[in-house]
Amino acid sequence: MSLVERVRALLGSDAVEGPAGPDGVPRVAPDSPDAVAVLLGTAREEGWRVRIEGAATWMPPDAPADLALTTRRLDRIAAVEPQDLSATAEAGIACDALRQQLADHGAWLALDAPGSAARTLGSVVATATAGPLRQGFGPVRDHLLGVTFVTGDGRLVQSGGRVVKNVAGYDLTKLEAGGFGAFGVIVLVHLRLRALPRADQTLVLEGSREELTSVAEEVAAAGIQPAALELMSPALAGRERWALAVRLTGSGALVTAEEAGLRAATGGRFTALAAAEAHGLWARAAESFAARPVTFRIGGLPESSDELLDLLQHQVGDEWISASPAIGAIRWGGETTVDRLRRLRRTLAGLEVPLTLERAPWPVRSQVGHFGAYREGVGPLVAGLRRTFDPGEAFVVAVEGAE
Amino acid sequence: MSRGSLVAALAEIVGPRHVRTAAAERVTYARDGLPTHRRVPGVVVLPGTRDEVVAVVRLLAALGVPFVPRGAGTGLSGGALADRDAVLLVLTRLNRILAIDPRNRIAWVEPGVVNARLSEAAAPFGLQYAPDPSSQTACTLGGNVAENAGGPHCLKYGVTANHVLALEVVLADGRVVPLGSPGGEPWGPDLVGLFVGSEGNFGVATRIAVRLVPRPRAVRTLLAAFGSLRAAGEAVSAIIASGIVPAALEMMDQSCIRAVEDSVYAAGYPRDAAAVLLVELDGNHDAAVAAEAAAVAELVRGHGAREVRTAADERERERLWLGRKKAFGAMGRLSRDLVVQDAVVPRSALPAVLETIAGIAARYAITVSNVFHAGDGNLHPNISFDGREPGLRARVEAASAEIMAACIAAGGTITGEHGVGLDKLRYMPLIFDGDSLAAMRAARRVWDPGERVNPGKVIPVHACREWAATRRAGAEAVAR
């Protein structure tokens, strides 16, 4: 029996999607977490190599595998609890669909991941790709109350729960968030929400990069607590010069006071954007990264933001950059080579700054790896965790790269 | 190796003064903050430096001796207790604040630094360490990391896990591993996130980098008194749904209010109220905080608050908070023994669950006082009793189990900040199935293959499904 026949017998004929993709890898779309477990249990027995896909708008669906497991039929929103500011959604739900449903309930997921609005929630969680709102609301993991995932040998594992505070058991959710699928396929996500902000104001200042990083420092030093404080390269912002965009959210009184504080701290130079213009700016910045072949993020200290941006400019160019200088987080997009990425990662490692490769074509990511080499002592832990959660090495994930 | 040789070897590492072997000394470590569990450790060792910790752990690894890391012993789950065959590794001497970096808003500390001391040290820079467990004047940051500690102000600022950036940990075999980076981006998977809250089972944190946050320039603290718990619970939901994020949103019931008012921590809470809410709003702008406070006052009045009082000055604010933070201590006056419970429910379930708990208390004829982080749905139903009374201890145990079951049935969980330790082991199978428990145990064995660090805690091993087996059950059902 062929793989496709076997899968159809296991999961039903509609679980295998149409003709195989351009690389001939059959695409399987289980319609329940249990079906994912059955598929991976069988993959373990048969020795099938599996790549994980969401909507295939972020990570290129190009890893060599016996089958592609797509979460696109896991697209239900199991619960939205506006009173509790929590929601439970399957991993294959598109971010824009989720956002709309939450908004209908007056709730908000304060995550603005890079990429297309149709990206799946599972993709955002598995790659831990937070956007500019990381300034005010933290990394992806801070929005997760729990996840359910399926291991490489087909076990359904739940971690966390659906309440906002929870220390029952080890926090395996942290391993899944940003694990790039190496430790399991995320099938269900319990989310921490915010009330939809009553006021949401974006202001922009254009200038040279150096000038704007120093303005960002002034903003942070003035104690202003923006939802986003993002430095964008001209191409990314769609402007002549670099742009510093400040997003203020919260109650009307808070946003008014913060805006006044911002103007006082910076000499009133920022321009307030109308809602549609602001939406356009943030959406353009997010979507631009999906149009570049390679994206990575680095996490330094706030004080080193300028130095790190110089380094990027020098080694890989700075055409597509989005940075939160007040927290030291930088995202880069563009075209580059394996050698340049490796050299940059080595340079950054010398500065004690990690580089995480977020997306790239398989020939690049398989060599560079999402994480590259680990610091001393960490490698055996990661290898042990991979053996634990994927004992048959079913998942095709470029974790370390081939260096 | 005999016990005598072990003691001699430990003394060689840390000095004889810092190895406790006499029964009278060891018995002082037999409990943590929870009086219902008692274990006397075989040996107590108090290293003074990171290198001494490493040397002790390596010695114990070579000998195959289990050990239990412990901070100030203020935990509330029996998590830092060691059996007679184990060594208790007390970390309170590693109490140095290694660096405060105001520009990057980061502090590096040793695990024995007391929580409140870090905020004191950061204050001159206009910064603070946000997580503030009620025991913050005694508990240590190492313990906070192990338990993923919370506190009243975690509603706005997040719990310990949201503030730990990097760690240096000593594994069970004595290897020293750096995890995370001070910028917060992990090197690889988020092992810092996995380590925080692992209750000592993954190793010993010897250096901790935490995020500091600006001290708010404006603070308003409101006290709202209600005629019923239900009304207070509904007011909590209304505040959260309004989009205002209070720094803290705490509730106390009448039994708790009276215990506080009868104690030296009397805060001026209205004794006849069925419940009081303490709501704190903070921020950078006085006008904005005042506007939010006014909005909250209107909301709670609209939900039946019969009195709303705003702390007039810092002194009154501190007094209101002292009553809340010392509520556990005040409840100690109610009777000889006190079980401090910890559970979480969805916020909207608070009113119903509180009524269920009152019903359980009445049925078992026990006194339950509720003091809790209402904004998070994190309940602390506390049972006061005299353990000498025949049969009462069993009734308390049974009532505790029913309270936990009620919280789980409401969609909640068994612990929000105290941890599983020994105390909640029996409840773990109620919220996790055999595969999920086995996955946790398997993850632990990656860090500590011999399960020697803090053995017997967190995971009820008997409830774990066999991890190595391949599973096909259910395949046919799915295919249909």
Measured between beta carbons, which residues in chain B are less than 8 angstroms from residue A44? 470
Which of A10, A38, A195 is the closest to B243 by Cβ?
A195
Q: Which two tokens stand for residue B431?
A: 């919220």
Q: What is the mean pLDDT of residues B341-368?
A: 94
Helix (H), strand (E) at residue A159: strand A156-160
Residue of A nearest to B127 (CA): A223
- State yes or no: pLDDT of B203 exceeds 70: yes
Q: Do B28 and B83 fall into the same domain? A: yes
Q: CA distances (Å), B229 to each of B174, B254, B305, B344, in order?
A: 51, 9, 11, 17
What are chain A's domains?
A: 77-195 (3.30.465.10), 199-287 (3.30.70.2190), 292-368 (3.30.70.2170)
Same domain, B222 and B207: no
Question: Would you say residue B478 has pLDDT above 70?
Answer: no
Residue A230 tokens read as: 């993002």
What would the mean pLDDT of A127-155 be, rounded to a whole number?
98
Q: Answer yes or no: do B104 and B200 share one domain.
A: yes
The whole-angstrom distance between B471's CA and the closest CA on chain A is 6
Q: Which two structure tokens, joined as six digits, stand for A375? A: 């610091």
A329 touches chain B (CB under 8 A): yes
Tell me the sheet residues that pair with B382.
Answer: B340, B369
For a pLDDT cut of 70, what percent of chain B falls above it?
Answer: 97
Q: Any idea what the Cα angle at residue B246 is, between residues B244 and B248, rounded to 5°? A: 160
- Band of pLDDT at residue B208, cut at 50, 70 and 90: very high
Q: B250 and B182 in one domain?
A: no
Q: How many angstroms separate the most distant Cα atoms in chain A?
A: 73
Identify whether residues B342 and B294 lie together within a single domain: no
> Please, which pLDDT band fits residue A391 given cuts at 50, 70 and 90?
very high
Residue B426 lies in a domain: no
Establish if B449 belongs to a structural domain. Answer: no
Q: Using CB atoms within 10 A of its CB, is residue B466 exposed (0-12), middle (13-18) or buried (19+)?
A: exposed
Percentage, residues of chain A above pLDDT 70? 100
Beta bridge partners of B213: B128
End-to-end alpha carbon distance in chain A: 38
Residues of chain A contacting B107 with CB distance shorter than 8 Å:
none
For residues B101 and B209, membership in a common domain is answered with yes
For residue B320, give every residue at least 6 positions away whose Cβ sits within 8 Å of its Cβ, in sequence order, or none.
Answer: B221, B223, B267, B268, B278, B311
Is residue B293 located within the same domain as residue B197?
no
Does residue A237 surpass a pLDDT of 90? yes
**Which of B90, B106, B136 marks a domain boundary?**
B90
Lowest-confidence region among A224-228, B34-38, B110-114: B34-38
Is the pLDDT reported for residue B472 higher than 50?
A: no
The CATH number assigned to the domain holding B404 equals 3.30.70.2740
Does B186 sit within 8 Å of A155, measured CB to CB?
no
CA distance B315 to chain A (A): 25
**pTM, 2 dp:** 0.96
Confidence at residue B471, expressed as pLDDT on a 0 to 100 scale = 39
Q: Which domain holds residue B42?
A: 3-90
Which residue blocks in B36-153 are alpha helix, DSSP H? 50-63, 115-122, 141-147
Residue B271 has pLDDT above 90, yes or no: yes
Residues written for chain A = 403
Asked whether residue B420 is assigned to any structural domain, the reply reads no
- Check residue B468 and give its pLDDT: 57
In one-letter notation, the amino acid at residue B5 is S
CA A64, CA A55: separation in Å to the nearest integer? Answer: 18
Mean predicted lDDT score pLDDT of chain B:
93
**Using one digit for the tens of pLDDT, what is the confidence trace for A261-320?**
999 999 989 999 999 999 999 999 999 999 999 999 999 999 999 999 999 999 999 999
What is the residue-averaged pLDDT of chain A? 96
pLDDT score for B330: 86
Pairing of strands A67-70, A27-28: parallel
- In a shared domain, residues B133 and B210: yes
Domain termination site, one of B168, B187, B214: B214
pLDDT of residue B475: 39
CATH of the domain at B148: 3.30.465.10
A274 touches chain B (CB under 8 A): no
In a domain, B436, yes or no: no
- B297 and B358 together in one domain: no
**CATH number of the domain that B45 lies in?**
3.30.43.10
Final residue of a structural domain among B61, B90, B119: B90
Tell me: the pLDDT tens digits for B395-424? 999 999 999 999 999 999 999 999 999 999
A295, A289 Cβ separation under 8 angstroms: yes
- Give the span between the Cα atoms of A232 and A84, in whole angstroms: 35
Run of H or E including B343: strand B343-344
Instruction: Find residue B283's DSSP bridge partners.
Output: B218
How many folded domains does chain B comprise?
A: 4
- Check which CATH number belongs to the domain holding B285 and give it: 3.30.70.2190
Exposed / middle / buried, residue B313 (Cβ in 10 Å: 0-12, 13-18, 19+): exposed
3-state secondary structure of B474: coil
Q: Cβ neighbours of residue B102 under 8 Å, at least 6 residues apart?
A: B122, B125, B126, B127, B212
Separation CA A145–CA A21 (nearest Å): 35
Residue B132 within a domain? yes
Chain-chain contact of B214 with A158 (C-beta, under 8 angstroms): no
Buried/exposed B350-365: b ≥16 CB within 10 Å, e otherwise: bbebbebbeebbeebe
Question: Within 10 Å of residue B278's Cβ, how many Cβ atoms?
Answer: 24
pLDDT (0 to 100) of residue B454: 98
Whether residues B77 and B33 fall in one domain: yes
- The residue ranking higher by pLDDT, B333 or B236, is B236
Cβ contact A163–B411 (<8 Å): yes
Lowest average pLDDT, out of A204-218, B324-338, B465-479, goes to B465-479
- Alpha-carbon distance of A337 to A342, in angstroms, equals 9
Which residues of B are less than 8 Å from A254 in CB distance?
283, 285, 288, 291-292
Model confidence at A175: pLDDT above 60: yes
**Does some domain include residue B288?**
yes
Distance from CA of A331 to the nearest CA of B (A): 12
Interface check for A129 against chain B (CB to CB < 8 A): the answer is: no
Range list of H helices, A74-142 = 95-104, 121-127, 134-137
Domain assignment present for B425:
no
3-state DSSP call for residue B176? strand
State how beta strands A86-90 and A185-192 pair.
antiparallel
Q: In the prediction, which pLDDT does B476 show? A: 41
Using CA atoms, how far residue B263 sits from B267, B324, B368, B394, in Å, is 9, 12, 18, 28
C-alpha–C-alpha distance, residues B187 and A298, integer Å: 10
- Confidence band for B469, pLDDT divided at 50, 70 and 90: very low
Q: Are residues B225 and B205 in the same domain?
A: no
Query: Which chain A residues have a beta carbon less than 8 Å from that of B466?
Result: none
Closest CA to B248 of B318, B159, B160, B153: B153
The answer to whether residue B153 sits within a structural domain is: yes
- pLDDT grade, residue A173 (50/70/90)? very high
Q: Please report the pLDDT score of residue A388 as a whole number.
A: 97
Residues B198 and B260 in one domain: no
Q: What is the mean pLDDT of residues B263-270?
A: 93
Q: Which two tokens stand for residue A290?
A: 């999906």
A254 to each of A229, A277, B45, B240, how far by Cα in Å? Answer: 16, 22, 51, 16
- The secondary structure of residue B258, as a DSSP letter, is H
